[in-house]
Structure 1
Amino acid sequence: MSARHIVGEQKDSKGATGFWPLGQRVDGDTLPETMTENEAKQLIYKAVADTETDANGRIGYKPAQNIQKQYGISQVRVVTVNGRIRTAYPYEGESVWKWIKNIGWKHEEIDSQSVKKIELIEGKI
């Protein structure tokens, strides 16, 4: 999670990469700083504790309104493999920046269907 969704390594390995808003610099740009890395981990743990995984081991979690306002994250995605967290990232929200492969940064909420189209083109889904 840290290498891709915080630092930005491997950001082009998938169609889109969502970044946790920790105030980090990625490719010369400073992302929003609305939370700490520890707060991001706590949000991930809450997602796992409060939400069932789907048949593919994924969790789609929508935090409570006060958490959404505090962090600027309206949806979190967690991916598990054999009951262990493989990765987790913010999926939507006003503080979520996404790197879209071959396009660049998206600062505002991105339509999830657009990301699905990118992933479909790349054979990810």
Structure 2
Amino acid sequence: MSTTYDKAHELKDALAASDEFQSLLELHQQIETDEIAKKMLENFRKLQLELQQKQMQGMQISEEEAQQAQQQFELVQQHELISKLMEAEQSLSVIITDLNKIITEPLEKIYGDPSTEQ
């Protein structure tokens, strides 16, 4: 069993050393030193979290809240540094999703592929 954990730690180290992760880390550091970008991103993430929590509680998001979220998203997208950060987050997210799919392949032999079941 320990070899499984050893491989997981190797994968963690490979991910941390990847260009995608390093790019994301560098962008985060740049945002930390840019007060405007930092505040804009914090406000956007706070609004995102509030809306997600509301949805998870089964509450409806109002049209006004949806518009506010869209406006905030458009605003942060206009900031070059934040836009680059979001692109880097998306790139890393794709890699993590792919890795998760690869890691769970053995379970598909037992339980089938949940993405093809209806």
Indicate the TM-score class for this superposition, using the shorter chain for normalisation: 0.3 to 0.5
Q: Which has the higher strand share?
A: 1
Which structure has more relative contact order (CA 8 Å, sep 6+)? It is 2
TM-score norm. by structure 1 comes to 0.31
TM-score by length of 2: 0.32
Greater helix share, structure number: 2
Larger radius of gyration: 2
